[in-house]
Structure 1
Amino acid sequence: MRRRLLAVLLAGVLLPAGLAGCGIPEQTGVHVDGTGPAAEAGSLNGRAAQPPNQAASSDPSEFIINYLSAAAGERDQAYDRAKGFIAPESQDRLRAKQQSSEVELTVVRLREKVDVSPPNNEGTSRVKVPVQQVGVLRPDGTLAPPVASETDYVFQLRRADAGKSGLFITDLPNVLLLSDDALRRYYGTHTIYFWNADQSRLVPDQRYLPSTVPPERRVTEVVKWLAGGPPDWLAPGVTRLPEGTAPINNATGADGRWEVNLTMNNANEPRLARLATQLAWSLGEEFTGELQLKIRDQNRRTVDLKQERETHPLYRTSGAPERFCVYDGVIHPVSVAGEPAGPVPVSAAANKGVVSAALSHAGSGVLAALVVTRSDRRQRLVVGAGRAPVTQFSAGRITSDEKKDGWFGAVGRPVWVRSLDPAHPSGLVVADGRLYRFDGMAAMNAVALTVPGPVTAVAGSFDGDRIALIIGGGLYVASVSVDGSIAVNQPRRLVTRLTGLTAVDWYAENQLVFAGNEEGRPAIYQTTVDGALDTALKREIGAEVTQLAAYPGGSAGGLPSFSYMYEADKVAFRNNPFDNIRREQVLGASSPSPGVRAPNPTAPFFFY
Structure 2
Amino acid sequence: MSRRLLSGVLAGTLMLAGLGGCGIPENTDVQIEQRGPAAETSWSSGRGTEPPTRTASGSDAEAFVRNFLAAAAGEPDRAYDRVKQFIAPTDREGLQDKPGSEVALSVVRLTDDPVIEPDVDSMKVTITVQQVGLLRANGVLTPPLATETTYEFRLVNAGPAGQDDIGFYVSDPPNLLLLSDEALRRFYEAKSIYFWNSDRTRLVPDQRYLSSAVPAERRVSEVVRWLTGGPSEWLRIGVSGLPDRTEMINNATGSDGRWEVNLDMPGVDDQRLEQLATQLAWSLRDLDLDGTLEIKILNQPRKLVDLGEQRSNNQLYRFEEGAQRFCVYEGAIHALAVANELPGMVPVAAEVNRDVVSAGLRRAGGEVLAALVIAGESGRQRLAVGRGQGTVQNFATSESAHAAIGRPVWIRTDGRPSGLVVVDGGLYRFDDQAVLRPVSIGVPGRVSAVAAALDGHRIAVIIGGVLHVAAIGWEGGVPTVGPVRRLVVSLVNPTAVDWAGENRLVVAGSAGRPAIYDVSVDGALETRLREDTGAAATQLSAVPAQLAPPAGSFMYEANRVAYRSNPFQRLEREHVQNVTPPPAGVRAGYPTAPFFLY
> TM-score over 0.5 for the alignment?
yes
CA distance in structure 1 between the partners assigned to 2:55 and 2:84 by the alignment:
9
User: Percent identity among equivalent residues?
Assistant: 52
SS in 2 for 1:226: helix
Match of 2:154 in 1: 156
CA-CA distance at 1:561 after TM superposition: 2.3
CA-CA distance at 1:169 after TM superposition: 1.2
| 2:128 aligned partner, one-letter code | P
| Residue 448 of structure 2 is aligned to residue 447 of structure 1 | no
| 1:75 aligned partner, one-letter code | P
Instruction: Spell out the pairing of 1:37-186 with structure 2 (5 A cutoff).
Output: 38-43=39-44, 46-97=47-98, 99-120=99-120, 123-162=121-160, 165-186=166-187
Contact 2:572/2:590, CA 8 A, preserved across alignment: yes
Instruction: Spell out the pairing of 1:287-436 with structure 2 (5 A cutoff).
Output: 287-397=289-399, 406-421=400-415, 424-436=416-428
Contact 1:54/1:84, CA 8 A, preserved across alignment: no
Match of 2:568 in 1: 578
Change (3 A) 1:71 1:472: same
Q: In the alignment, which of 485, 505, 511 is matched to residue 492 of structure 1?
A: 485
CA distance in structure 1 between the partners assigned to 2:51 and 2:94 by the alignment:
25
Change (3 A) 1:360 1:168: same
Query: What are the superposed Cα offsets for residues 300-333 of structure 1, whole Å, 9 maximum, x if unpaired?
Result: 1111000100111111111111010111111001
TM-score, scaled relative to structure 1:
0.89
Moved more, 281-290 or 224-233: 281-290
Change (3 A) 1:44 1:292: farther
Contact 1:55/1:165, CA 8 A, preserved across alignment: no
| 2:499 aligned partner, one-letter code | W
Contact 1:324/1:607, CA 8 A, preserved across alignment: yes
| 1:492 aligned partner, one-letter code | R
Contact 1:447/1:488, CA 8 A, preserved across alignment: yes
CA-CA distance at 1:85 after TM superposition: 1.1
Q: In the alignment, which of 515, 525, 535 is matched to residue 523 of structure 1?
A: 515
TM-score, scaled relative to structure 2:
0.91
CA-CA distance at 1:259 after TM superposition: 0.2
CA-CA distance at 1:64 after TM superposition: 1.7
Q: In the alignment, which of 548, 558, 562 is matched to residue 568 of structure 1?
A: 558
Match of 2:459 in 1: 467
Contact 1:525/1:536, CA 8 A, preserved across alignment: yes
Contact 1:335/1:587, CA 8 A, preserved across alignment: yes
SS in 1 for 2:295: strand
CA-CA distance at 1:212 after TM superposition: 2.3
| 1:415 aligned partner, one-letter code | V
Moved more, 203-212 or 43-52: 43-52
CA distance in structure 2 between the partners assigned to 1:38 and 1:158 by the alignment:
43
Instruction: Spell out the pairing of 1:537-556 with structure 2 (5 A cutoff).
Output: 537-556=529-548
Query: What are the superposed Cα offsets for residues 174-227 of structure 1, whole Å, 9 maximum, x if unpaired?
Result: 000000000000111111000011100000011101112223211001110000
CA distance in structure 1 between the partners assigned to 2:406 and 2:77 by the alignment:
49
| 1:523 aligned partner, one-letter code | A
| 1:488 aligned partner, one-letter code | V
CA-CA distance at 1:377 after TM superposition: 1.6
| 1:385 aligned partner, one-letter code | R
Gaps of 5+ in 2: 1-37
CA distance in structure 2 between the partners assigned to 1:355 and 1:153 by the alignment:
49
CA distance in structure 1 between the partners assigned to 2:478 and 2:423 by the alignment:
18
CA-CA distance at 1:44 after TM superposition: 7.2
| Residue 253 of structure 2 is aligned to residue 259 of structure 1 | no
CA-CA distance at 1:547 after TM superposition: 0.3
Contact 2:40/2:504, CA 8 A, preserved across alignment: no
CA distance in structure 2 between the partners assigned to 1:307 and 1:552 by the alignment:
23
Query: What are the superposed Cα offsets for residues 136-161 of structure 1, whole Å, 9 maximum, x if unpaired?
Result: 00000000000000000000121112
Match of 2:285 in 1: 284
Contact 1:46/1:214, CA 8 A, preserved across alignment: no
SS in 1 for 2:67: helix
CA-CA distance at 1:489 after TM superposition: 0.8
Query: What are the superposed Cα offsets for residues 458-490 of structure 1, whole Å, 9 maximum, x if unpaired?
Result: 001011111100001111111112343221111
Moved more, 144-153 or 547-556: 547-556
Contact 2:44/2:186, CA 8 A, preserved across alignment: no
SS in 2 for 1:41: helix
SS in 1 for 2:350: coil
Moved more, 340-349 or 489-498: 340-349
| 2:225 aligned partner, one-letter code | K
CA-CA distance at 1:446 after TM superposition: 0.5
Contact 1:320/1:340, CA 8 A, preserved across alignment: no
Q: In the alignment, which of 484, 500, 516 is matched to residue 507 of structure 1?
A: 500
CA distance in structure 2 between the partners assigned to 1:367 and 1:394 by the alignment:
12
CA-CA distance at 1:49 after TM superposition: 4.5
CA distance in structure 1 between the partners assigned to 2:525 and 2:563 by the alignment:
25
CA-CA distance at 1:375 after TM superposition: 4.2
Q: In the alignment, which of 592, 595, 601 is matched to residue 591 of structure 2?
A: 601
Instruction: Spell out the pairing of 1:206-221 with structure 2 (5 A cutoff).
Output: 206-221=207-222
CA distance in structure 1 between the partners assigned to 2:350 and 2:129 by the alignment:
54
| Residue 274 of structure 2 is aligned to residue 273 of structure 1 | yes
| 1:205 aligned partner, one-letter code | D
Change (3 A) 1:262 1:42: same
Contact 2:491/2:509, CA 8 A, preserved across alignment: yes
Match of 2:4 in 1: none
| 2:408 aligned partner, one-letter code | P
Contact 2:114/2:127, CA 8 A, preserved across alignment: yes
Contact 1:245/1:264, CA 8 A, preserved across alignment: yes
Contact 2:51/2:67, CA 8 A, preserved across alignment: no
| 1:506 aligned partner, one-letter code | W
| 1:158 aligned partner, one-letter code | V
Match of 1:21 in 2: none
CA-CA distance at 1:53 after TM superposition: 2.6
SS in 2 for 1:80: helix
CA distance in structure 2 between the partners assigned to 1:485 and 1:594 by the alignment:
53
Contact 1:462/1:553, CA 8 A, preserved across alignment: no
Gaps of 5+ in 1: 1-36, 398-405
Contact 1:477/1:493, CA 8 A, preserved across alignment: yes
Contact 2:100/2:137, CA 8 A, preserved across alignment: no
